[in-house]
């Protein structure tokens, strides 16, 4: 499982997360600011409107008759002021209008929604009012789940007028907050989509350039260049193309030099081999001399094999993919190596579950000869070599297995590197050539060491290119 620091190492997650976080924070701030601004604007308007209504209503109150009020419905002053409050309540569309004294005792009200105890909440603000001054409370939510606003007007030293107005638009603002939340959520989703698109638009061409450079590193100089761009990455692409062309030129120079060296060595070797062969024929009755000549011929054959290995590793032929019948090519190789197999009395078992694979025929033949030759060298007299093929998951495979001495673990990790060998007289290029030819044919090869039971080499190919062949 990747840790958080490891997740942030890639360019793609860093761009995606950074862009998303910044946008989400900005959206959250904007949504909160928008809601808060709308609420404060409405509250200030509601307070101003309520205080204005409270002042207008106060002008209808005859202050000189207030001292005659008794909290008794039969009281004439009570009836007089209640009638005024009821009329103004209806006309101004208020939810409550009331008169109370400095002790916060309610004397007259136009409804039944106000209790004297409720005035205690704003005692301080009420007591601080100057005569003919007006103040309003903050909006509050009553027990009926509706929003209201109070305003107070000081009529005289001992009397106050109060009104209660419906602030229902605050409920709409609460709904607006939910709308802001939805807008923010949609914005977050769009942000993730935009971040994904932006990240992909930046990293996809980089990924293509990375793959292109990796193929250059593997020696594939003829791969198609990624599509031309018109941004900062174009400079990087042009640099990679120049590097590829320079490496390709050096590789061609190296191949030409190797080919020339091989040619210069092969010619005298061919002459020496011919003369040694003729001398062997002339001296066929002299066993001592013919023994020396046979050693010369054997060494010449080994040198020619090594020269061929160098050439095959340095510049393998371009693969020509075709459907290669496995039974047919295995029988060919068996015939080529039959003398060596018989000389060690090796038991060869062949069991193919695949009819054919898509491969360059010459390349596959060379790989199989190298692997089977190694197995012949590794197994003891009377040993076993098994050649099988089949399907495993999304891959098809060809396996060459033996019960020889195996490969030491210390060597196994680099067994496919050039010039690594466990043989006393080996050049160490056989398996390196196998690996290179597998790559040329979009295949892979790996080694599976069977402790005390020999080794197994497996050639793997993607099933997509081979599923129609079997």
Cβ atoms of 434 and 367 closer than 8 Å: yes
Q: Which residues contact 341 (CB under 8 A, 6 or more apart)?
A: 334, 348, 376, 385
Q: CATH 3.30.565.10 spans which residues of the chain?
A: 319-469
Cβ atoms of 50 and 149 closer than 8 Å: yes
Task: Kindly report the backbone phi and psi dihedral angles of residue 160, in degrees, each rounded to the nearest multiple of 5, phi listed first.
Answer: -135, 150
CA atoms of 466 and 459, how far apart (whole Å): 13
CA atoms of 161 and 405, how far apart (whole Å): 109
Any idea which residue has 């409405």 for tokens?
A: 42
Classify domain 319-469 at the CATH class level.
Answer: alpha beta
From residue 111, alpha-carbon distances to 54, 67, 71, 217, 452 in Å are 16, 21, 14, 90, 102
- Which residues lie across from 325 on neighbouring strands? 356
- Strand, coil or helix: 108: strand
Per-position pLDDT tens, the chain of length 470: 445 455 455 666 777 677 777 777 877 777 777 777 777 777 888 888 888 989 999 998 888 888 888 878 888 888 888 898 899 888 888 888 999 888 888 888 887 666 556 778 888 888 889 999 998 888 877 777 788 888 899 999 889 998 888 877 766 666 766 777 777 777 777 777 777 777 777 777 777 877 878 777 766 777 777 777 666 677 777 787 788 788 777 766 666 666 666 656 666 666 666 666 666 666 666 666 666 666 776 666 666 666 666 666 666 567 888 999 999 999 998 988 898 899 999 899 999 998 999 999 888 988 998 899 889 988 889 899 999 999 988 889 999 999 888 887 777 778 888 777 776 666 677 788 888 888 888 899 988 876 457 889 999 998 765 654 45
Q: What superfamily in CATH does domain 4-171 come from?
A: PAS domain (3.30.450.20)
Cβ atoms of 241 and 249 closer than 8 Å: no
Q: CATH 3.30.450.20 spans which residues of the chain?
A: 4-171
pLDDT score of 316: 59
Any idea which residue has 């400095």 for tokens?
A: 102
Task: Kindly report the backbone phi and psi dihedral angles of residue 175, in degrees, each rounded to the nearest multiple of 5, phi listed first.
Answer: -65, -35
Nearest CA among 439, 419, 444 for reference residue 429: 419
Nearest CA among 40, 90, 84 for reference residue 62: 84
CATH code of the domain occupying 233-312: 1.10.287
pLDDT score of 330: 92
User: How many CB atoms are closer than 10 A to CB 414?
Assistant: 10
Nearest CA among 113, 230, 102 for reference residue 161: 102
Q: Which residues contact 340 (CB under 8 A, 6 or more apart)?
A: 373, 376
Nearest CA among 300, 422, 416, 317 for reference residue 365: 317
Q: CATH 1.10.287 spans which residues of the chain?
A: 233-312
CA atoms of 108 and 96, how far apart (whole Å): 11
């Amino acid at each position: 499982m990747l840790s958080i620091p490891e997740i942030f190492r890639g360019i793609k997650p860093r761009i995606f997360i950074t862009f998303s976080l910044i946008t989400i924070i900005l959206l959250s701030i904007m949504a909160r600011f928008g809601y808060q601004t709308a609420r404060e604007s409405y509250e200030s308007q509601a307070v101003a409107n309520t205080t204005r209504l409270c002042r207008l209503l106060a002008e209808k109150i005859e202050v000189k008759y207030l001292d005659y009020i008794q909290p008794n419905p039969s009281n004439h002053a009570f009836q007089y002021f209640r009638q005024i409050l009821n009329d103004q309540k209806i006309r101004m569309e208020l939810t409550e209008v009331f008169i109370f004294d400095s002790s916060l005792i309610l004397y007259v009200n136009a409804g039944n929604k106000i209790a004297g105890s409720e005035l205690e909440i704003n005692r301080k603000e009420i007591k601080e009012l100057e005569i003919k001054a007006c103040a309003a409370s903050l909006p509050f939510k009553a027990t009926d789940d509706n929003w209201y606003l109070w305003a107070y007007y000081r009529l005289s030293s001992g009397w106050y007028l109060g009104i209660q107005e419906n602030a229902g638009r605050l409920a709409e603002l609460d709904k607006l907050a939910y709308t802001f939340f939805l807008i923010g959520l949609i914005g977050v989703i769009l942000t993730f989509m935009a971040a994904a698109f932006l990240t992909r638009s930046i990293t996809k061409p980089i990924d293509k350039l990375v793959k292109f450079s990796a193929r250059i590193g593997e020696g594939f100089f003829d791969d198609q260049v990624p599509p031309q761009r018109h941004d900062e990455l174009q400079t990087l692409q042009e640099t990679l193309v120049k590097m590829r062309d320079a490496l390709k030129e050096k590789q061609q120079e190296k191949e030409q030099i190797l080919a020339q060296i091989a040619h210069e060595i092969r010619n005298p070797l061919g002459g020496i081999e011919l003369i040694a062969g003729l001398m062997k024929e002339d001296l066929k009755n002299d066993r001592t001399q013919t023994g020396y000549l046979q050693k010369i011929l054997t060494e010449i054959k080994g040198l020619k094999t090594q020269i061929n290995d160098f050439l095959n590793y340095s510049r393998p032929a371009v693969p020509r993919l075709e459907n290669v019948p496995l039974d047919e090519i295995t029988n060919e190789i068996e015939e080529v190596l039959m003398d060596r197999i018989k000389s060690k009395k090796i038991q060869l078992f062949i069991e193919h579950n695949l009819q054919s694979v898509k491969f360059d025929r010459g390349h596959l033949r060379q790989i199989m000869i190298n692997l089977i030759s190694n197995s012949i060298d590794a197994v003891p007299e009377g040993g076993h070599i098994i050649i099988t093929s089949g399907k495993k998951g999304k891959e098809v495979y060809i396996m060459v297995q033996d019960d020889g001495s195996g490969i030491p673990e210390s060597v196994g990790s680099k067994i496919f590197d050039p010039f690594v060998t466990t043989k006393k007289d080996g050049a160490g290029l056989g398996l390196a050539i196998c690996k290179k030819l597998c790559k040329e044919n979009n295949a892979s090869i790996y080694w599976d060491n069977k402790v005390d039971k020999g080794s197994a080499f497996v050639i793997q190919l993607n099933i997509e290119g081979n599923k129609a062949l079997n």
